[in-house]
Each structure stands twice: as C-alpha cells, then as structure tokens.
Homo-oligomer: A and B are copies of this chain.
Amino acid sequence: MALRRSVTLEDVARRAGVSRTTASYILNGHSAQMRISPDTEARVRGAATDLDYRPNRSARSLRTRRTATVGLISDQIAGEQYGSSMLTGASIAARELDHLVVMGESGGDPELERLLIEEMVDRHVDGVVYATRTARTIRLPAGLRGVRAVLLNCEDPTAQVACVLPDDEGGGRLAAAELVAAGLVHVWVLGVDPVPDATAGRRRMVGIRAELALAGIAVAGVVDCDWTVGEGFAATRDWLTRGGRAEGLICMNDRLAMGAYQALAEAGLRVPDDISVVSFDGSALASWLRPELTSVELPFPELGALAVRRLLDPDDHGGTDSVPLSVRAGGSVRRR
C-alpha cells in the first residue's frame, strides 16, 4: 500500500493556529476572496510546508466529485507502432493540467470496453478520451452517453461529441504536392481503405486528387490492398508484373511503402531514380528505409495532447478539430 505518514489539514491548521476552514481556503488559493490576512496566510503555508502536507485526494473527491484524473480508453493504441505516442501526448497534457491519465485497452472487445468505461466512470474520472488506433467512424459506446468525452482519431457523425482528428485530406494534398513539385505527372496510388468505416484513405485520396488537379494531373491508377508490408510487396509485384509503371507512387502508409520498396528492388527499379515514392505516417520505419522515405507525418502526440486539453476545457466548443499533417522529407522523391 502506498502510505505516507498522514498529515491532515487539521494538523496544518493546528500548527498555524487557525481553523481547518481557514487553512483550506488558503491552501486552495482563496485567500483573496476571503481576504485572509497576509500574516495568517504565511503561517498556514509555512505549516503546510513544514509538515509536507499532501491533501487527501479521496476526501477531496468525495466532496468535490472531481478526481483530477482523465480516462483514456482505446481499442489498441498501446500495442501499436507509433499510434502509442497519442498516449504520450495525452499523458503530458494531462500532467500540465494537474491531471493523471487512467488508461484502458479493450483490444476491440466490446464487453471489455464496456467494463473499462464503467470502471472509469465509477472512479469518477473527470472525462474520457475515446481513441482508436486507426482513423475511422464509430458509434459512441452507450456507457459514454452523458459522460464528458472527446473522440480521438475517430468520429461519430450521429453524436454531439468533441472530436480530434488528423487532417488526412490536407495530408493527401501535401503528399501529392511533393510529386508535383518534382515535376512528376504519372502518379499511382497504393492502398485505399482497408475497411468500410476507415476514413483515412478516402480523405487522403480526396486531397491527392485535388492537389494533382491543380497541376492538371489525374491519378493514373490505384492499386488496392491492405496496409501491410506483405500486401504492399505482393500488390506492387503483381502490378509490376502486369506491366505497371509510374513516375511517382503514393503509398497509404509507411509499411505499404516498405513492401513497395522490396518489390521495386526485386524488379531492379531504383528509388528515386526510376520511381519516386511518398507515403503517410512519418513513422520511424520511414527513416529506416534506404533511401529514407519521404512521408507525411501524422501528429500523434499533438492529437493526444489536444484531446486531453479539450476534455478539460470547460469552454470547449464541442466541434471537430482537424490537426494538420506535415511532410518529413527523405530521399525517395526525385529531385527536379
């Protein structure tokens, strides 16, 4: 059990020669409204310091119904390659606002999710961030209705919930712009949307098409496949076998790009001399490939931090935030 010797407000008050009431006001920063004398204030603060007073949070919570704690529930962000940095961002933002993060992972199991939400609500977290590993449309879990919540990396069009998303459409524009700037006009796209409710691929596609259109270019073709290294490899190899060629290839994530690299190498095609590659994620993997992969980075830490800040902001407007992506330049795009 996590014990410290138990110094109570009573102890502080006694040592300072005041009542608990006065000590409480002072220690909670209400000296001004209460017009506490400077002398009294100094005595109380001194006593608190001397005794190393730590307010009992359970007692406080019992009265105030707040716990200085936020819940963060997700399907699977901790086990994930870089999505887990949403957790890091959330944790840091929470601390800056004097809160701590209570986390739970459902692994996609609805019953476990229900349990976790229930436990968090039981513990009176001050709100819940509901996050998904992959950007998509969801239905707000029943247990979250009536609970202060922010959706992170997902959205429920049918619910009135604050929502923090990456700006995938803008990201799509950035990716296309890299190729346009290099003077490439023959562009293929690898990977669209793996599952029906996923949103990232579709939005990126919109941005890609829009940006290319500005340069008078249309997407030459799309190879659809799951967003994994193995699928990226197989799909690219098949495409090449069927005579597929392009000046530029936009991959929907870094893993797909890794697979594409492998298939291109096998076919004797060099990146970027024979074909330029751009992808999405900006994960560590992008920097590991040779040549380094130019990738449009998802702002995971910022997403996590923003979700927590909005959750704890009483004036939050409740709409949807789209956080911009940014290009992490590698050497996979041909220099003009």
Binding site for B on A (CB under 8 A): 1-4, 54-59, 61-62, 65-69, 71, 76, 78-82, 84-85, 87-88, 91-92, 95, 98, 100-105, 107, 112, 115-116, 118-128, 146-148, 229-230, 233, 255, 258-259, 262, 284-285, 287-288, 290, 301
Query: Is the beta-carbon distance between B124 and A100 smaller than 8 angstroms?
Result: no
Residues of B within 8 A of A258 (CB): 288
7 A-B contacts (beta carbon < 8 Å): A54-B118, A57-B123, A58-B67, A76-B88, A87-B87, A87-B103, A101-B102
Residues of B within 8 A of A68 (CB): 123
Q: Check A124/B57 contact, CB under 8 A, given A85-B79, A147-B2.
A: yes
* Residue from B84, B100, B301 in contact with A120 in the complex, judged by beta carbons closer than 8 Å: B100
**Bound form: Cα–Cα A200–B55 in Å:** 41
**Bound form: Cα–Cα A101–B116 in Å:** 11
Query: Is the beta-carbon distance between A1 and B66 smaller than 8 angstroms?
Result: yes
Determine the residue in chain B with the shortest Cβ distance to A123.
B57
A223 → chain B, closest Cβ, in Å? 19
A interface: dominant SS: mixed
A123 → chain B, closest Cβ, in Å? 5
**Bound form: Cα–Cα A307–B58 in Å:** 25
Determine the residue in chain B with the shortest Cβ distance to A59.
B62
A28 → chain B, closest Cβ, in Å? 15
Chain B CB within 10 Å — which of A78, A101, A119, A147 has the most?
Answer: A78
Query: Is the beta-carbon distance between B66 and A56 smaller than 8 angstroms?
Result: no
Residues of B within 8 A of A54 (CB): 118, 121-122
Residues of B within 8 A of A259 (CB): 288
* Residue from B85, B112, B301 in contact with A95 in the complex, judged by beta carbons closer than 8 Å: B112
A121 → chain B, closest Cβ, in Å? 5
A5 → chain B, closest Cβ, in Å? 9
Query: Is the beta-carbon distance between A103 and B104 smaller than 8 angstroms?
Result: no
Residues of B within 8 A of A104 (CB): 91, 95, 100-101
